[in-house]
Every structure is written in structure tokens, then in C-alpha cells.
């Protein structure tokens, strides 16, 4: 590195300053680290956060702290100081943002400072490192999950119920209000179900029937109700009903266990509830709003008695209280219905609001933008924060992609959830700070069923009548100067989106069954196959001739579009070296609900050309055998050798991913001897298993992944969920974001969000249609060639020797 480079100077200055403190006897005593280990950490800190004397000052403060766990306010203050220190030390903004403006690097630096000070890095983040990370790194409008349900309209149609427009809105307003009142109970159920089962699994791990208890959560997945059913007791709300059903399920499962074991289980559960439950409810509560700072978000509670439901109707915003007066008593349905009838009959006189431009601004820029807006508007925007849930009644076609549906009016991004009505389905837009994918889609199903219950109730009532007083509707007027400020502010990444349901799910399931019959060690999940093939497809993808022709034509016809076309051609060009680092969210909540998610990075280079070559070699050998008219047994023997090698490689890939996911979910390290589950693996798979680190590093994995691959899996058989689109973190290195869901009819739908540089450039020259075409071409190519790959592997795995139409051996 050039010693005149400002980055080199900043790094060396940080090392020099930090060493004066880190190499003291006190640090060695508190941290139990050797001098070489201390020096290694110092250099790592300087590489990731060259912040001058700031890391040293933070370390000094931590050393003066008597307790092992720093206060939460101190942690946030120190993190902010690190951000500022790097920014001020690296005056070159391009260098700063390109290399160091990543929350993962800053949080990793702080963890290392905690180690030097002898503090507990894990306990210093009482809500878990993932929650702390997303408060800083998944803030922008692109960091939201979106999903869709059809159950409300489908069920009403089946029962020939036609709701009045007022009652359609009232059903959802009451469902949202009930959700806010019951949210702590909903979270308690989520916590209990995970912790109760996990503790039971720990206590039964050495019993002969341990395997049964290992399957308990999956068994509960198949029984968990998402609505009150016919056996619900009078006045038993949904959380109480679900709690009772779980307790009955658990009692049956634990029947016959020894009394001492049950007593130990009860003791551990009581301790966990006292220590962790209330904190988890506060962490995950949506009765709050987001206060944007320059570097992160702060979740601010909204008292229940102050909470509202937000309604967007004909472009105008309305706030409807969910409590009676200043109490915490729930508003009754008659009052809610009257308010909605009033605003729909006598809409506010202010013109429709246009707040979308505020959602396009990066959250880091919002504090400064808000200081430039008129006081009246700022006060009105603050008022919107009283509504954790907004319902947009202005219908958008269900045939649009989820990314387009969510572009309707949706407040300004301070709230957890927006619900959109398409007339046939409902779409839920969920902040990742509050919702992981699985919890988000679960709540969407719960809300849909609750709204349906209210719809049935409302259908039997006389028509709603408007009242005398219309609900409060802020004007939210943006002046031309405000529009200019918003357009000039830093913007979120532009995206193009595509969706498909072309994947042959039945063929994938058939292949998995074939694997099981062939060899118990061939354990690849549906998601394993999808990830494996994404890595293969990244290498073999070739754009359609039509797409290439369209780009070449644009380059010839519009000189101003040449840079955009060049960027697009790079994005779609064949590249045998391209093998993406794919970030796969793994559910960490079953072991520790507060931890929520562990990001597992499926590193580039794992699926090599050697792997692809082996697939092609096996296919060619099979074709040779099937065409052979002579020496068929010899041809089969040649194929069988390659077949066994290929199946061993697939088995090793599945075993490696299983070990990786198990460790991620458990949050612990694992020896390499435990990971090597299969003997005589091919060399490429040995290299893959060797790459699995001895220790997990959440923040490092977040830095590496260039694609996100989030599969919420197969929904419950009674679910009406249809589509899912996952969130993208604010890191510009995340270029492709894949969201997958399989519905109750076993139809898999994939949503692809494309954030590559050409999207912004082509949009700037007036060709967003080409961005959509490029995304669709990639996605449809993936789906079609995945189907072909599954058919080919099925042929390879299922091939047996035939002589004159008879099986002579298996």
C-alpha cells in the first residue's frame, strides 16, 4: 500500500494510537490474550475502522468500566463514535463509503474492542447481534419483506358474501387494531413455542426417544393454528386459543416422561421466562416507530393508549384511534365502523398526499432533510408515527409484481407494517427491523384470518352510517422546494423485479424421494437444490438472443445510452469465473428467540467447473449406455463409476450444508471431524467442507454475500399465502435478492429483485422496460434450466442396468 495514500496513513495512525493502550498489562490481564493475539486484533480493528484515536479512546472507556457488560446507551454511543471517527479520518468520501461505511465492519470493530477490554461481546448486545445489526444496516425502503394472501376474498366469494366498501375496510381496521392490542400475547406464543420445545430437546438428548423430540417443532408446525377454529371457547381470542392448543400438544408429547425430567424442564422454563420473555417482547414489539439517525435507527415505543391505525383512502391519510379515550380499552367495532363510514362519505378536503418521494430518500439523510422541511409538515409527519400499521385502500392490480404493488402511498418508513388492498388479495409490506421473513408471513396469515372473522360479523349488521366528526387527516403538503430537496437527497438503490412460478416443484420432490431410496446419506433439502443450482446457473447462464439484440439496437440508436448498455452487457455476459457469494438466512430463533436469524454465506467457488464437468460427464455416460446396442454391460459399468462419484459429491454437498446450517442455528462451533460426515468424498467436496470455519462470524458473513437467497418454505396446508419478496440490506454490494415461497397447492413462486448498476443507468435514459426484461430473462432462465437439471439428475440417480428389457441388477 502506498504510504502517501490517506487510507494507509489512517490505518497506521489507528494502529499506533491503539497499541499504546492495547499493549498494557491491564489489557492482557482483563482479556487473557497474548501480545501476538492483541496485535492481531489491533491490526484487524485498524483495517476495518481506521478511525484515528477513536478506537483507543473507546477502549480506554471500556477499561474503566467495572462491569463486564457495558450499558446499552454506552454501546450505541461508542458505535456512533466509530462511524464518525472513520468518516472524519477518511476525508475522501469515496474511499469512506466504498470500504468502511458498512455497519458490519463497525460492529465487528466494536466486538474486538470489547474482547480487548475483557468484556463479554455477546452479552453486550442484549437483543442479539442480528437485531443490533439490522437497526443500522436494514433501514432503507428496500429493506422490507413483502408477501400476499388471498384467503379473505377467496373465502368470502366461496360463501357468497359481498361486503359493503365500508365493512371491507372496517374488517381490516379491526384486525389491525386487535393485532396491536394482542401483540405481546402473540410474541409470548412465539417465544414459548420455541423455548419450551428447545429446552425439552436438550433434556431428552440422551434418551432412546431423542429423535422423536428432535422432530417436535416440525410436528408442531403441522398443527399450529393460524385462526380460531370451531373448538374455540367463548370469548377466547386467537392468542389464547393458540396457547391452549400448544399446551395440549406439549402435554401429549411429554406424557410418560420421568417426573424428575419434567421438574427440571419446568424449572428451566421458569428461569427463562423470568430472564428473557419480557425483553423479547420489548425487542420485537411493533407498538413503536423508527427514529432515523445518521448511522442507525432507534425504536421508540408508542403507548397503547396513544396508538392508532393509519388509513390511506383516495390518497389522503387518516388516523383512527384503537383505544377508547385515553384508556387502553379496545375501541368497539361500531365506533370504528362509523369513523370509516364518515371519512369515506365525507373525505378530507386536502388534496391527495404524495409522500413516496420521502420513502426513496436514504434513511441516513432523513435527519438533515427533516430540518429543512416546514414546521407544520414535520409535525404532521411526527403524527403519522402513532400508527404502527397503515392500510392503503386504493387498489392496485394483483397481477402486478409485489415490488410494484408496494410502491403505493405507504407513509414515510417510520412504521413497521403497511397493508395494500388489490381487490382480490392483500399485500403486506414489513420492515425487516421488526419482522424476519417467517414471522412476517405468519403474521400476514393471522391478520387475514382475523379480518375474515370480522367480515363475517360485519356482514350480519345493518349498513354503516356516517358520523358527525371525520377522523383526523393531516394535509401533508409538500411545496415545490420540498420536492426539489427530496430529489436532490441521497436515494435508495433502484431496482427491477421479476416473478415466476415455472419451477416444477413436483419434480424436485420426486427427486428427493429418489435420493432417499437410493442412499440415506443423500439428504438434500429443496432449498439445498435451489441454492446449488443458483451457483451452477451463475456460471452457465447465457442471455436470450432477443435480449442481446435489444441492447445492441439501443446502443446503435441512442449514443447517450451507451454507458447504460455497456453496464447491462457486463451484467449478462458469460463469465465462467462468476460464482456468487450467496447469503442464506438461517432461523436462529428456535434456540434463542432474540437471535432471530443467522446469515449463512454460501461462498463463491464452492460449485466449481469441476462439479459442472462431472454432471455433464455423468449425463454423457448415461446417454452412451442408453444408446448402446452392444457391450451394454461395459457401457453401464463405465456410467456407474461416474454415477457413484457424482452421487457422492451431491451427498457431500448436502452434508456440508446441513452441518453449516446446524451450526448456524445452534450458534456454536463444530470440529472438522464432526463436519466430515462422509468418507471418500471427491476432492472438490473436501475443499468445500474445509472452508466451513471453526467459528461463525455474523458480521463477516454479512459483508461477503453479494446475493440474498431467502426461502420461507412450504406454507401450512390451510394457508392462503401466495407470494413472498425478501428484503435487501442497505449495502450496495447486494445485487440480486431472491425470495421464494411454496403455497398450499405446492406451487413455488420466486421473486427476483435486481439492484445491479445497469438498473439505475438504463432508467436514467428512459428504458426501465429493459431493466425488467433483463431481470425476467435471468429468472426464467434459472427456472427453466433448473427444471432440466432436476430431470437430468433424476435420470442419472435412477438409472439401472437393463438387459433385453429386464432388470438384471440394481
What is the pLDDT, as a whole number, of residue 266? 97
Q: What's the whole-number mean pLDDT along residues 128-143?
A: 90
Non-local (6+) Cβ contacts of 265 within 8 A are 199, 200, 203, 254
CA angle 61, 63, 67 (to 5 degrees): 100
Element (H, E) at 308: strand 308-313
- Give the per-residue pLDDT at 255: 94
Q: Please say whether the beta carbons of 394 and 315 come within 8 A.
A: yes
The residues, ordered by sequence, that sit 6+ positions from 607 with a Cβ below 8 Å of its Cβ are: 532, 535, 536, 539, 579
Q: What percent of the chain has pLDDT over 70?
A: 90
How long, in residues, is the chain? 810
Global pTM reads 0.91
Distance (Å, rounded) from C-alpha 596 to C-alpha 287? 19
Crossing angle of the two packed helices 609-627 and 632-666, in degrees rounded to 10: 150
CA distance linking residue 201 with residue 22, whole number of Å = 43
The cell numbers describing 9, all together, are 496513513
110: cell is 466494536
pLDDT at 302: 98
pLDDT of residue 684: 46
pLDDT one-digit tens code per residue, 515-562: 988 876 778 899 999 999 998 898 889 999 999 999 999 999 999 999
Per DSSP, the residues of 467-493 read: -SSPPB----PPPHHHHHHHHHS-BPP
All 3 cell numbers of residue 4? 502517501
Residue 410 is given by DSSP the state: B
Taking CA atoms, 101 is separated from 51, 67, 275, 431, 699, in Å, by 12, 30, 35, 22, 13
C-alpha neighbours within 13 Å on the C-beta side of residue 218: 7
In the chain, what's the furthest Cα-to-Cα distance?
Answer: 92
Q: Give the three-class secondary structure for 785.
A: helix
pLDDT digits (tens, 9 = 90+) for 731-775: 777 899 999 999 999 999 999 999 999 999 999 999 999 999 999
Q: Any bridge partners for residue 709, and if so which?
A: 738
As a whole number of angstroms, the distance between CA 6 and CA 15 comes to 14
Cα pseudo-dihedral 608, 610, 611, 612, rounded to 10: 90
pLDDT tens digits for range 413-426: 999 999 999 999 99
Q: What mean pLDDT comes out for the span 27-55? A: 90
At residue 188's C-alpha, the angle toward residues 185 and 194, to 5°, is: 150
Partners of residue 391 on adjacent β-strands? 311, 419
Backbone phi, psi, residue 340, to 5°: -70, -40
**pLDDT score of 803 more than 70:** no
The kind and range of the H/E element at 124 are none
pLDDT > 90? residue 123: no
**For the chain, percent of residues with pLDDT exceeding 90:** 70
User: 595 and 130 in contact (C-beta within 8 Å)?
Assistant: yes
pLDDT digits (tens, 9 = 90+) for 657-680: 887 777 766 654 332 233 233 334
699 pLDDT higher than 80: no
pLDDT band at 392 (very low <50, low <70, confident <90, very high): very high
**According to the model, what pLDDT value does residue 578 have?**
61
**Rounded mean pLDDT of 591-620?**
81
Average pLDDT over residues 359-385: 96
Q: Is the pLDDT of residue 237 over 60?
A: yes
State how far the alpha carbon of 750 is from the alpha carbons of 82, 712, 713, 778, in Å: 39, 11, 11, 12
If pLDDT is split at 50, 70 and 90, which confidence band does 21 have? very high
What pLDDT is recorded for position 581?
A: 81
SS3 state of residue 497: strand
Segment 199-220 mean pLDDT: 94
pLDDT one-digit tens code per residue, 51-71? 889 999 999 999 998 888 898
pLDDT for res 669: 33
Specify which residues 145 forms β-bridges with: 430
Those residues with Cβ within 8 angstroms of residue 122's Cβ, 6 or more apart along the chain or in another chain:
129
Tell me whether strands 389-392 and 308-313 are parallel, antiparallel or unpaired. parallel
Q: Which residues contact 459 (CB under 8 A, 6 or more apart)?
A: 161, 163, 167
Q: Are 426 and 369 in contact (CB under 8 A)?
A: no
Under DSSP, the state recorded for 432 is: T
Q: In the prediction, which pLDDT does 88 show?
A: 80
Model confidence band, residue 567 (pLDDT cutoffs 50, 70, 90): very high
682 pLDDT exceeds 50? no
Would you report the helix, strand and coil content of the chain in percent, each value rounded to 5?
Answer: 55, 10, 30
Secondary element (H or E) of residue 600: strand 597-602
- Alpha-carbon distance of 321 to 177, in angstroms, equals 9
Distance (Å, rounded) from C-alpha 130 to C-alpha 137? 10
What per-residue confidence (pLDDT) applies to 575?
A: 62
Contact, 696 vs 130, CB < 8 A? no
> pLDDT tens digit string along 139-176?
999 999 999 999 999 999 999 999 999 999 999 999 99
Q: What phi and psi values does residue 735 have, to the nearest 5 degrees?
A: -105, -35
Amino acid at each position: 500500500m502506498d504510504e502517501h495514500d490517506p487510507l494507509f496513513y489512517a490505518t497506521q495512525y489507528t494502529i499506533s494510537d491503539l497499541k499504546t493502550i492495547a499493549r498494557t498489562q491491564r489489557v492482557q490481564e482483563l482479556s487473557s490474550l497474548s501480545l501476538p493475539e492483541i496485535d492481531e486484533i489491533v491490526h484487524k480493528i485498524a483495517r476495518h475502522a481506521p478511525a484515528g484515536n477513536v478506537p483507543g479512546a473507546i477502549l480506554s472507556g471500556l477499561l474503566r468500566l467495572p462491569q463486564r457488560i457495558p450499558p446499552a446507551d454506552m454501546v450505541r454511543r461508542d458505535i456512533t463514535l466509530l462511524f464518525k471517527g472513520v468518516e472524519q479520518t477518511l476525508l475522501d468520501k469515496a474511499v469512506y463509503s466504498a470500504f468502511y461505511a458498512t455497519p458490519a465492519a463497525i460492529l465487528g470493530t466494536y466486538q474486538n474492542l470489547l474482547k480487548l477490554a475483557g468484556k463479554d461481546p455477546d452479552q453486550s448486545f442484549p437483543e442479539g447481534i442480528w437485531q443490533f445489526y439490522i437497526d443500522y444496516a436494514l433501514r432503507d425502503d428496500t429493506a422490507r419483506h413483502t408477501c400476499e394472501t388471498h384467503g379473505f376474498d377467496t373465502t368470502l366469494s366461496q360463501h357468497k358474501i359481498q361486503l359493503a366498501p365500508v365493512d371491507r375496510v372496517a374488517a381490516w381496521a379491526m384486525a389491525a387494531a386487535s393485532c396491536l392490542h394482542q401483540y405481546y400475547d402473540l410474541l409470548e406464543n412465539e417465544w414459548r413455542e420455541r423455548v419450551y420445545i428447545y429446552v425439552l430437546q436438550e433434556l431428552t438428548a440422551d434418551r432412546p426417544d431423542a429423535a422423536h423430540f428432535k422432530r417436535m417443532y416440525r410436528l408442531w408446525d403441522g398443527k399450529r393454528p393460524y385462526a380460531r377454529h370451531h373448538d374455540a371457547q367463548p370469548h377466547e381470542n386467537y392468542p389464547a386459543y393458540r396457547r391452549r392448543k400448544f399446551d395440549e400438544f406439549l402435554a401429549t408429547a411429554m406424557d410418560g416422561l420421568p417426573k424428575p425430567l419434567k421438574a427440571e424442564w419446568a424449572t428451566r422454563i421458569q428461569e427463562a421466562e423470568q430472564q428473557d420473555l419480557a425483553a423479547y417482547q420489548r425487542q420485537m414489539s411493533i407498538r413503536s416507530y423508527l427514529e432515523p439517525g445518521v448511522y442507525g435507527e432507534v425504536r421508540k415505543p408508542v403507548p397503547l393508549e396513544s396508538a392508532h391505525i393509519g388509513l390511506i383512502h383516495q390518497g389522503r391519510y387518516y388516523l383512527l384511534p384503537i383505544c377508547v379515550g385515553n384508556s387502553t380499552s379496545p375501541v368497539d367495532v361500531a365506533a370504528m365502523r362509523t369513523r370509516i363510514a364518515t371519512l369515506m362519505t365525507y373525505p378530507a378536503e386536502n388534496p391527495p398526499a404524495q409522500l413516496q418521494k420521502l420513502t426513496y430518500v436514504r434513511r441516513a439523510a432523513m435527519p438533515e432533510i427533516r430540518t429543512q422541511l416546514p414546521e407544520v409538515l414535520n409535525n404532521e409527519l411526527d403524527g403519522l408515527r402513532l400508527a404502527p400499521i397503515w392500510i392503503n385502500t386504493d387498489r392496485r392490480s394483483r397481477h402486478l409484481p409485489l415490488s410494484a404493488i408496494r410502491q403505493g402511498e405507504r407513509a414515510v418508513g417510520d412504521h413497521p407494517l403497511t397493508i395494500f388492498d388489490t381487490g382480490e388479495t392483500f399485500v403486506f409490506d414489513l420492515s425487516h427491523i421488526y419482522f424476519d421473513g417467517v414471522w412476517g408471513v405468519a403474521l400476514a396469515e393471522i391478520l387475514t384470518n382475523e379480518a375474515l372473522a370480522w367480515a363475517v360479523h360485519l356482514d350480519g349488521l345493518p349498513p354503516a352510517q356516517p358520523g358527525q366528526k371525520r377522523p383526523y387527516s393531516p394535509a401533508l403538503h409538500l411545496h415545490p422546494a420540498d420536492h426539489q430537496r427530496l430529489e436532490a437527497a441521497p436515494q435508495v438503490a433502484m431496482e427491477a423485479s421479476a416473478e415466476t412460478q415455472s419451477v416444477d416443484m413436483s419434480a424436485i420432490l420426486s427427486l428427493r424421494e429418489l435420493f432417499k431410496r437410493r442412499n440415506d446419506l443423500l439428504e438434500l433439502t429443496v432449498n439445498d437444490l435451489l441454492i446449488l443450482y443458483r451457483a451452477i446457473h451463475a456460471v452457465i447462464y447465457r442471455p436470450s438472443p432477443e435480449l442481446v439484440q435489444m441492447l445492441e439496437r439501443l446502443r446503435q440508436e441512442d449514443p447517450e445510452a451507451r454507458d447504460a448498455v455497456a453496464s447491462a452487457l457486463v451484467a449478462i455476459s458469460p463469465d465462467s469465473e462468476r460464482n456468487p457469494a450467496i447469503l442464506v438466512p438461517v432461523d436462529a430463533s428456535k434456540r434463542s428467540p432474540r437471535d432471530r436469524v443467522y446469515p449463512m454465506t454460501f461462498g463463491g467457488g464452492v460449485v466449481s467447473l469441476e462439479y459442472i464437468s462431472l454432471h455433464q460427464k455423468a449425463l454423457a455416460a448415461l446417454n452412451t449406455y442408453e444408446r448402446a446396442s452392444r457391450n451394454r454391460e461395459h457401457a453401464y459399468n463405465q456410467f456407474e463409476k461416474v454415477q457413484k462419484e457424482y452421487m457422492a459429491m451431491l451427498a457431500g454437498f448436502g452434508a456440508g450444508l446441513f452441518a453449516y446450517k446446524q451450526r448456524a442455528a445452534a450458534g456454536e462451533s463444530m470440529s472438522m471431524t464432526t463436519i466430515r460426515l462422509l468418507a471418500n468424498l471427491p476432492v472438490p467436496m473436501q475443499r468445500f467442507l474445509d472452508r466451513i470455519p471453526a467459528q461463525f462470524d455474523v458480521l463477516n458473513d454479512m459483508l461477503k454475500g453479494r446475493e440474498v437467497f431467502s426461502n420461507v418454505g412450504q406454507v401450512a396446508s390451510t394457508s392462503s399465502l401466495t407470494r413472498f419478496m425478501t428484503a435487501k440490506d442497505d449495502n450496495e454490494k447486494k445485487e440480486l435478492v431472491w425470495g421464494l415461497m411454496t403455497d398450499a397447492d405446492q406451487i413455488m413462486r420466486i421473486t427476483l429483485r435486481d439492484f445491479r448498476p445497469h438498473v439505475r443507468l438504463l432508467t436514467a435514459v428512459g428504458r426501465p422496460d429493459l431493466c425488467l426484461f433483463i431481470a425476467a430473462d435471468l429468472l426464467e432462465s434459472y427456472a427453466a434450466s433448473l427444471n432440466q437439471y432436476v430431470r437430468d439428475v433424476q435420470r442419472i440417480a435412477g438409472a439401472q442396468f437393463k438387459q433385453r428389457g429386464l432388470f438384471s441388477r440394481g
